[in-house]
Chain A
Amino acid sequence: DAGVTQTPRHEVAEKGQTIILKCEPVSGHNDLFWYRQTKIQGLELLSYFRSKSLMEDGGAFKDRFKAEMLNSSFSTLKIQPTEPKDSAVYLCASSFGPNSDYTFGSGTRLLVI
C-alpha cells in the first residue's frame, strides 16, 4: 500500500500518561501534516513539516503536543501528559508540495480516561 500509514489505529490512555502516535507518509512526499479531529471543532492543524523542517506547530497545542520528523519517511506525535479532552481522532496527511493534493492516513482514535 503506497498511502499514509498510521499506527496504532486505536489507543486508550489513562490521564497523565505519555502516548506516541506514528505516521509514515507517502514515499516522495515533502510535506507532512498532523491534524486533530473532533465533532465540535472539526479538523485542527497540530503540526506542519516541509522537508522535515517544522513550518507550523499550531499555537494552542504547543505545551503538551510535540511532533517530530527525524527522517523523511517517519513522524511521531507525542502527547505528554494526556488529558481527557485530548480524546479525538488524530490524522496524518502528506503532500508532494505547495498546491498538491493531500493523502490522509486512516487515523488514530485516542481515548483518554
Chain B
Amino acid sequence: GQQVQQSPTSLVLQEGENAELQCNFSTSLNSMQWFYQRPGGSLISVFYNPSGTKQSGRLTSTTVIKERRSSLHISSSQITDSGTYLCAMRGSSGNKLIFGIGTLLSVKP
C-alpha cells in the first residue's frame, strides 16, 4: 500500500477561507517535506524538515514525527494559492523522498 497518504485529494475554497491538508505515513520516517506545484510547473519546497509547528506567512505546518503525521494549514486563502500540495517522507536509509499523491487546491473568487 501507499506509504504516504494525503487527504483530501482535492479541495475547493472560496477566497478567504482556511484549508487544512493532512499527511499520514505508514512507516517510520526520518523527516518529511511539503511541496507546492503550480499547474504545469515544478515543485517548490514549502516546508523542509519541519517538526513541531512552523509558520511561513499564511502557511503553518504541524508535524509529529513519532505519530507519523503532518498537516498544512493555509489561512485566508488567495486565488494564487491554487495548485497541488504534496507531502513527502524520507525513510531510515538514504536521501530519497517518497511522495503522497497530492491535494489539488482550487481557490475561487
Which A residues contact B (CB, under 8 angstroms)? 31, 33, 35, 42-43, 45, 48, 50, 55-56, 91, 93, 95, 97-107
Q: A42-B100, A43-B99 are in contact. Are A99 and B31 (CB under 8 A)?
A: yes
CA distance A46 to B2 in the complex (A): 17
Scan B27-54; emit 1 where CB is below 8 A from any A CB, else 0.
0001101010000011111001100000
Question: Chain B residues near A43 (CB, 8 Å)?
Answer: 86, 88, 99
Q: Is the CB of B96 within 8 A of A33?
A: yes
Q: Is the CB of B98 within 8 A of A45?
A: yes
Question: What is the count of residue pairs linking A and B with beta-carbon distances less than 8 angstroms?
Answer: 53
Q: A42-B100, A99-B30 are in contact. Are A104 and B95 (CB under 8 A)?
A: no
CA distance A99 to B95 in the complex (A): 6
Q: How far is the CB of B61 from chain A (nearest CB, A)?
A: 14
Question: Chain A residues near B86 (CB, 8 Å)?
Answer: 42-43
14 contacts across the A-B interface (CB closer than 8 A): A33-B97, A43-B99, A45-B97, A45-B98, A55-B96, A56-B94, A98-B95, A99-B30, A101-B49, A102-B33, A104-B42, A104-B43, A105-B42, A107-B42
Q: How far is the CB of A22 from chain B (nearest CB, A)?
A: 16
CA distance A35 to B95 in the complex (A): 14
